[in-house]
Chain A
Amino acid sequence: MNAPLSRNWDSLRQSRRDRLARAASQDFARAVPADRIVDLLEAVILPGDRVCLEGNNQKQADFLAESLADCDPARLNNLQMVQSVLALPSHVDLFERGLASRLDFSFSGPQGGRLAKLVQERRIEIGAIHTYLELFGRYFMDLTPNVALIAAQAADAEGNLYLGPNTEDTPAIVEATAFKGGIVIAQVNERLDKLPRVDIPADWVDFTVQAPHPNYIEPLFTRDPAQITEVQVLMAMMAIKGIYAEYGVTRLNHGIGFDTAAIELLLPTYAAELGLKGKICTHWALNPHPTLIPAIESGFVESVHSFGSEVGMEAYVAARSDVFFTGADGSMRSNRAFCQTAGLYACDMFIGSTLQMDLAGNSSTATLGRIAGFGGAPNMGSDPHGRRHVSPAWLKAGREAGGANAVRGRKLVVQMVETFREHMAPVFVEELDAWKLQAAMGAELPPIMIYGDDVSHVVTEEGIANLLLCRTPEEREQAIRGVAGYTAVGLGRDRRTVENLRDRGIIRRPQDLGIDPRMASRDLLAARSVKDLVRWSDGLYAPPARFRNW
């Protein structure tokens, strides 16, 4: 028999005690003055630590991010950053200033260009690009943070936190850190004697600091109806009639683009005229999109659970607590981890857009010179093999794919794109830019957002391709070419095969769906401006200044 292993079994706890002792020796109490935050960070963070910086899709721990970037790289270096979104300049400053060396993340949106440059200069090592739920999962496996820097709306004297409507990633980050010997530091907008509700209990939080300015929140989900085009209206009509109605899709998630905003705004008009109220779009995993207001007010929507909130929607959400998830205090509660779980297992459809799609239906938003990441799309846009409960939409899709005796259903994963983007960039391509990016990044795999074998339908201005009904890779390719319009991929179609696919209902043109493209008018939109949305909300929606032109 082997001798018992001789080792220290509480090194994490010991390390935590040492870190807190260092802070205490510098007279830090739980409430930290803003002007001493850099000293605190240098006291409790060690070189090589894994640090989770709360950069969410929307809410940003911006004061802590800037403060970390102001630390001395001679004291803090080789930090291993884990964060869902790289949104702020300070997030990239950490790497440029030599504080951090490795990054595991999900989405980098506005910083995608700087990130690509750092990769090319070999000044950053990217662990992996994840989908949100996958990254959260790794917080509890092999990427558990030593230190988490988070953002909250308010703290009380004990250090309990109120997160406000933008709960987002905070519970997942704090749970992983606080229960594995880590240190949790929260920036707060205000200190209150009594919190509206407690979202994070004080004994999971080590320090709080009142930031000199409220944390930044990006209004990521606001789409101005004035910018929706007639082509988007046409595609929305096709999607509603050819997919939503045919499958009876009641539980779904929408992407953030104008294509799906057009669908939201056609529900109270076009979909209602088709008699679809109560039959489609009743339950949503969705942020509070302002463009969903008319559908909610028209009685289409029963329930919405959200990943985060949306700037300006707070009062509207609070006043519609039958629809949205709200606390006993009346304000919204969001949660990215739970909403992504709902998007994975409890939705029958994901519909979104992409920048490029290849002949196998693989899609990617990666372009040369930008490492943008994926966010939630790979999760929502995937067919979960762990699902067991049935619904009419899931069964119908499963039987289309696997025949009448299929033992499982299928999630509807719909990609909705106009065949050319602005400046005549074709969406349909022979080879995704992701492959070139893979080579530039030295990655094992190209950054594909949604795998082609998960895609069930492609909607373009030319029609709908139902990939579930295709029986060979060649048929899939021709089905995709058959809706790819005047792109080189579309012009390269085999006309006879495409006509055969149309006869079999695999490709459907607007006229096959009984839609006259000439009727695609912006007049069909329930709201044609942000001001219309405010009116629909009875004045409860308060759009950010950049969306006001009155």
Chain B
Amino acid sequence: MEILTFEYPSAPLALAGQPALCGVVGSGNLEILIRAGERPDYCRIRIHTSARGFGEIWQAVIGEFAAGNAAGGTEIAINDMGATPAIVSLRLVQTLAEYAGERQ
């Protein structure tokens, strides 16, 4: 188990909705919880992952997510069981859309 924490500047999310939870904690998968954070122009992410030693890849994935989406003002918690970056990126944008109320 490894715990990683990142904080990135990100465009403020216009609407702060109810907390959103997506995904499952299963092998090769992950669970993401997005809720309101403290700083409106920052996105703070805390990751619990079963796979050690992939900090650099997490940093790249999260950095691109924060730069490419309006995720400012959120706090994101991730429970990861060895999901690939493709799954992580997809689940992040899906959860953010749900948090922003764009998706049922």
**Which residues of A are in contact with B by a Cβ distance under 8 Å?**
229-231, 234, 418-424, 460-462, 485-486, 491, 517-518, 520
Contacts and interface: CB of A to CB of B under 8 A. Distances in A.
**DSSP majority for the A interface?**
mixed
A485 B94 CA distance: 19
Interface string B90-104: 100110010000110
Contacts of A485: 85-86
B60 interface: yes
B57 A517 contact: no
Given A486-B61, A486-B85, A518-B103, A424 B90 contact: no
A231 B93 contact: no
A229 B60 contact: no
Question: B interface, how many residues as a size bin?
Answer: 10 to 19
Contact of A418 (B57, B60, B84): B84
A424 B93 contact: no
Contact of A231 (B60, B86, B97, B103): B86
A485 B82 CA distance: 16
A423 B82 contact: yes
B86 A461 contact: yes
A486 B60 contact: yes
B101 to A, nearest CB: 13
Given A231-B84, A423-B82, A518 B93 contact: yes
Given A461-B89, A485-B86, A518-B94, 11 more contacts: A229-B87, A231-B87, A418-B84, A420-B84, A420-B85, A421-B84, A424-B51, A461-B90, A485-B85, A491-B60, A517-B89
Ranked nearest first, the 6 interchain pairs of A and B with the lowest CB-CB distance are A461-B86, A420-B84, A231-B86, A486-B85, A486-B57, A518-B97
Contacts of B6: none
Contacts of A517: 89-90, 93
Contacts of B82: 422-424
B86 A420 contact: yes
A234 B51 CA distance: 25
B17 interface: no
Interface string B72-89: 000000000010111101
23 contacts: A230-B87, A231-B86, A231-B87, A231-B90, A234-B90, A418-B84, A419-B84, A420-B85, A422-B82, A422-B84, A423-B82, A424-B57, A424-B82, A424-B84, A462-B86, A486-B57, A486-B61, A491-B60, A517-B89, A517-B90, A518-B90, A518-B94, A518-B97
Contacts of B84: 231, 418-422, 424
B80 to A, nearest CB: 11
Nearest to A419: B86
Contact of A419 (B54, B85, B93): B85
A423 B97 CA distance: 28
B72 to A, nearest CB: 19
B50 to A, nearest CB: 11
A418 B94 contact: no
Interface string B32-63: 00000000000000000001001001001100
A547 B48 CA distance: 34
B22 to A, nearest CB: 11
Nearest to B84: A420
B103 to A, nearest CB: 7
Contacts of B90: 230-231, 234, 461, 517-518, 520
Contacts of B51: 424
A460 B51 CA distance: 23
B49 to A, nearest CB: 11
Contacts of A230: 87, 90
Contacts of B102: 518
Contacts of B54: 424
B1 to A, nearest CB: 16
A348 to B, nearest CB: 28
Contacts of B89: 461, 517
Contacts of A518: 90, 93-94, 97, 102-103
A326 to B, nearest CB: 40
Contacts of B28: 422
Contacts of A462: 86
A230 B87 CA distance: 8
A518 to B, nearest CB: 5
Nearest to B27: A422
Nearest to B57: A486
A288 to B, nearest CB: 29
Contacts of B97: 518
B12 to A, nearest CB: 20
A237 to B, nearest CB: 12
A461 B51 CA distance: 21
A234 B84 CA distance: 14
A523 to B, nearest CB: 11
A4 to B, nearest CB: 71
Nearest to B93: A518
